[in-house]
Structure 1
Amino acid sequence: MSSAPNGAAAAPWADLLPELCGLVVDRLDDPISVLRFPAACAGWAAACKENPRRLRSGAPTLLVSGLDPEGVETEHDVDAGAFGLHDVSAAGGGRSFLAEAAGLKGRTWIGGKGDWLVTTDYGCNVELFNPITGDRVPLPSFETTRGSELGVPGYLHVSAEDRWHRILKVTLCQTPAHPGGYLAVALFSGGLLASTAAGDKCWTALKNHAASSRLDLSYMDAIVLEGKLFSVNEFGRVYSWDMMNGGTTEPAAVVQGPEIELNRHYGRGFYLATSSHGQLLLICIHGDTDSLKDNRTCSRLVFDDRWSFYEHGMSLHELDAAGGGAWRRVTDLGGDRALFLGANCPFYITVPPGSEKLKANCVYLADTPSGYDAGVFDLNKGEEEDGYVERLAYSLMADPLQMPMWFRPTTHHRLLDE
């Protein structure tokens, strides 16, 4: 290509007509590239701001398995690093995108926070991966776990004292972008719980001498709040560890869980989150297990089969830590907010007035117990009503290997600076 004539100034890219910018954006099929595209400079960001085909920064997006590159309808492996993203807040029924990432080739996601994913290969080599920036942060090997001698026999298991523990999820409580660095908690079957943080060279197994039996160690979720690590078991009992000054090696303290009347419901599961008031929030999802045939127990690379039942409703309970440890029923998320739950670290979205798609005072659950990609629970309904509003199905594959999970793509200022 010949250079511009001497004295001829190149036209600023930002001076292109918005219609031309839209045509350029249309040629970018990869949603991650489209998200990075306006980060090239402030002018492009302004020109592309209104393009309806863009993956929007900060949007609540459901992450699912991508299409098989050979067109097979059943997902056989994760070698391609393919994934799908579905913006559930977009008008007109949502917006869907397909992409591939080198950092996901041969790996499956098992947790995340914001636009960071926790991924693992079959050998339980866990790392943090940001699909937007491409950054990868390896976590310590589970063979280094302090307080429990672990082996890694492979296929998403670790072993301890002749028992195998299946990895269930890794809760990412802080990302590498946090001033204190990352903080992660790994949950395994059989009551194994471990944490690691930026600067650590190992994982630390959390001991729980307060548990009365091995069944009490059946942890379903974990969260870190104000220097304490909380975990809830499958019976709704909550335990806490003080994480200040390396206190995770100290015995757990019991936090008496709320009394939850389940009536005819037999299946139930629990999540933990932070309430609108900054307190510990326990979420109970209840239903029944009659005649449920769940293919996920066979097809998923990572699956907790305790989350396999027909969900009927949900209840939220906030701990009043300053008021003697009492729990109160929560029916309001703060007026105009929605809560997003799943294997991801929970987050809230402020619902814009007049939103066509998002509903305020609702809980959006990824990977529902009955096998839908997501479901919406309306807290405005009474305690005796079925709180379900909608079930969402976005998966592009039959019997996908990977779990649906919430993801929040972000345009990074670092990309602008570069």
Structure 2
Amino acid sequence: MGDYWSMLPKDILGIIALKLDSIEDLVYFSAVCHSWNHAFNMVKLEWSRVDKPTTPWLLLGEPTNKNNDDGCRKILSIEKNNKCYELSLPETFGARCWGSPYGFILMLHLNKKIELFNPITKARLNLPSLQTLPIDPEDWQKLCVRKFIILKMPQSDEFLVMAIHWRHDNLAFARLGDQTWTPIHTSCARYYQVIDVCFWDRLLLILYQDGTLAYCDIMKSDFTAKLYLPVPCDVFRYVLAGNGEMYMVVIDGHLHVVSRMKEDFLDDDGYSDYRTYDFFVYKLDVENKLWEKVECLMDVSFFVGNNTSMFANTSNAQRNAIYFTDDEKDFWRHGRVRFRGHDMGVLPRCDLRIVSDANTFFIETILKHHGVLHCFSEINTNSAIVDEDGRLRISPFHDFNSSSHGCNLCPPNLCKGEIFTRIQASSLEKRFIYVGDGKNDYCPSLKLTVKDYVMPRKHFPLWDAICIDPALIKASIHEWEDGEELERSLIQLISSLMIMKADEVLIAEEYLFADCKSDHVAAPESFQKSVPVPH
């Protein structure tokens, strides 16, 4: 690096560092030269406290080979094209781990010691032992921790760790420096099992297995839960039947509940197994105390499972998606299945885009009327405005008076194939489902690949064009005749794409998402070893 870059003022370098939104970039920034490293040390604590959700990393399991003398584990960065870093983390071996949005993972060791550990900086913070939980001695053999959740106190940088265990009144918390765990009395609900907690405004919100919501004000030393919302049976009925999990995520002050759908089955060897096949997301209407179904997450992705639930405004990861890790609770109590750690992956919520030869006025009016305009990330069509005289004036998508798009399959004002080519280039790893019926839908259908799907309407121009020579279409063809058949076929097709088979995902003995924000400079040597990630 030239001397001029190293001579930039420290305050300017600090501003640049605070703009970085990934731990990789921050570590590389700190390793440029002495002056940049000094600037990093000036702002590192402030950077870790900035409330800008960054894409978390996935800590993979302990290696199965016995010759792993260096104690290495792999961390997957989904933000950097699924790049896998190998870090020396012997401290994590033999411990159960839970992730968080704050750079720390929580480790529970076999001797019941509990600590927070930053896999990048190696910082370690002690928490009270599980033996300080206020339960009867005869219950110790039955005690099993379901989950640890790491939170930050409202308007503070102080960590609060919540422990969800299996006994009655099964919630307790501890702060750094505490000598014992403090119980929270949660028996205000009909079903006492707590499954998730989060801060909402200044209150600690508690979610029960049956969907009941309760709260308590820890800020005022109130450790007794009070009922907020009763069981919403019409919303969470599938989870209530015991076939799923639920998680809470707060985005810009809005409370969301993510409902995870699971199914049991027998594998080829006759062993009981399970898998996640779908998610539903609901947002709380505070005024009416009703749950509204969220169809599209827009630019946000959720991260749920064996970690503190979190979200990120994604740029390089999949937008409008839910990343999940395996959190099957029966692993730790009954060992009822042969394998664990396989039910993990990402379920995209379907990125919906419109390519149409209609116009913006017609399309947006119809979508707004049905309340689904927000579900579409992009509308490609002819522009339209209503002038002062109340006339609708439509302008062509392609200005064919100045230049032609050159496609003889499409009208001069709009080539759907050209638009689709641009969408393809920006989404190289995605599969496409193209639904159409018009003559100008044939051009983009020819550009679909073998991993894509085209859904032409029977006895309409697109279907007729495909029938002339189906071999010209590389994509799988799924016909439909009316709206009901389209809905049924489309849902079935999307569901089949979303089910993640065990041999298509990374298999790990332990798994968690951790948003690795650092409070010390990490050694660049930690990132020198990398391996390709299986797909």
Q: Following the alignment from structure 1 to structure 2, what is the Cα–Cα distance between the partners of residues 372 and 136?
A: 30
Q: Following the alignment from structure 1 to structure 2, what is the Cα–Cα distance between the partners of residues 205 and 183?
A: 13
The 5 A counterparts of 1:332-347 are: 332-333=296-297, 335-347=298-310
Three-state SS of the structure 1 residue aligned to 2:220 is helix
Amino acid of the residue matched to residue 407 of structure 1?
Answer: A
Give the aligned partner of residue 50 of structure 1.
none
Q: Residues 185 and 368 of structure 1: is their aligned pair in 2 closer, same or farther, counting only changes over 3 Å?
A: closer
Between structure 1 and structure 2, the one with the greater Rg is 2
> Is 1:65 aligned to residue 61 of structure 2?
yes
- 2:515 aligned to which of 405, 408, 413: 408
> Is 1:239 aligned to residue 214 of structure 2?
yes
- Contact 1:194 1:206 (8 Å CA) reproduced: yes
The 5 A counterparts of 1:165-244 are: 165-174=143-152, 179-191=156-168, 192-212=170-190, 216-244=191-219
- 1:130 aligned to which of 105, 118, 125: 118
Q: Following the alignment from structure 1 to structure 2, what is the Cα–Cα distance between the partners of residues 309 and 346?
A: 21
> Is 1:393 aligned to residue 358 of structure 2?
no
> Is 1:310 aligned to residue 284 of structure 2?
no
- 1:114 aligned to which of 102, 107, 126: 102
Q: Following the alignment from structure 2 to structure 1, what is the Cα–Cα distance between the partners of residues 24 and 295?
A: 40
Residue-by-residue CA offset, 1:103-151 (whole Å, 9 max, x unaligned): 3244331343332110010122111111222111101123333xx3355
Amino acid of the residue matched to residue 294 of structure 2?
Answer: V
The 5 A counterparts of 1:66-105 are: 66-68=62-64, 70-71=66-67, 81-91=71-81, 94-105=82-93
Three-state SS of the structure 2 residue aligned to 1:317 is strand
> Is 1:273 aligned to residue 249 of structure 2?
yes
Per-residue deviation, 1:239: 2.7
Q: Following the alignment from structure 1 to structure 2, what is the Cα–Cα distance between the partners of residues 328 and 120?
A: 37
- Contact 1:267 1:288 (8 Å CA) reproduced: yes
More helix by share: 2
Residue-by-residue CA offset, 1:45-77 (whole Å, 9 max, x unaligned): 79xxxxxxxxxx9543211114245359xxxxx
Q: Which runs of 5+ in 1 are unaligned?
A: 1-10, 16-31, 47-56, 73-78, 152-158, 298-307
Q: Normalized against structure 2, the TM-score is what?
A: 0.54
Q: Following the alignment from structure 2 to structure 1, what is the Cα–Cα distance between the partners of residues 123 and 269?
A: 35
Amino acid of the residue matched to residue 505 of structure 2?
Answer: A
> Is 1:362 aligned to residue 336 of structure 2?
no
Three-state SS of the structure 2 residue aligned to 1:65 is coil
Q: Residues 117 and 359 of structure 1: is their aligned pair in 2 closer, same or farther, counting only changes over 3 Å?
A: same
> Is 1:331 aligned to residue 295 of structure 2?
yes
- Contact 2:103 2:518 (8 Å CA) reproduced: no
Q: Following the alignment from structure 2 to structure 1, what is the Cα–Cα distance between the partners of residues 101 and 269?
A: 27
Q: Following the alignment from structure 2 to structure 1, what is the Cα–Cα distance between the partners of residues 186 and 27?
A: 45
Amino acid of the residue matched to residue 60 of structure 1?
Answer: P
More strand by share: 1
Per-residue deviation, 1:255: 2.0
Three-state SS of the structure 1 residue aligned to 2:521 is helix
CA RMSD of aligned residues (A): 4.0
Give the aligned partner of residue 3 of structure 1.
none
> Is 1:349 aligned to residue 312 of structure 2?
yes
Q: Which runs of 5+ in 2 are unaligned?
A: 7-22, 38-52, 329-340, 353-374, 376-486, 523-535
Q: Following the alignment from structure 1 to structure 2, what is the Cα–Cα distance between the partners of residues 389 and 111?
A: 24
Q: Following the alignment from structure 2 to structure 1, what is the Cα–Cα distance between the partners of residues 149 and 271?
A: 21
- Contact 1:13 1:44 (8 Å CA) reproduced: no
Q: Normalized against structure 1, the TM-score is what?
A: 0.67
Q: Residues 133 and 266 of structure 1: is their aligned pair in 2 closer, same or farther, counting only changes over 3 Å?
A: closer
- Contact 2:188 2:225 (8 Å CA) reproduced: yes
Q: Following the alignment from structure 1 to structure 2, what is the Cα–Cα distance between the partners of residues 196 and 410?
A: 22
Q: Following the alignment from structure 1 to structure 2, what is the Cα–Cα distance between the partners of residues 256 and 247?
A: 21
Q: Following the alignment from structure 2 to structure 1, what is the Cα–Cα distance between the partners of residues 107 and 131?
A: 17
- Contact 2:278 2:499 (8 Å CA) reproduced: no
In the alignment of these two chains, the number of paired residues is 334
> Is 1:253 aligned to residue 227 of structure 2?
yes
Amino acid of the residue matched to residue 76 of structure 2?
Answer: H
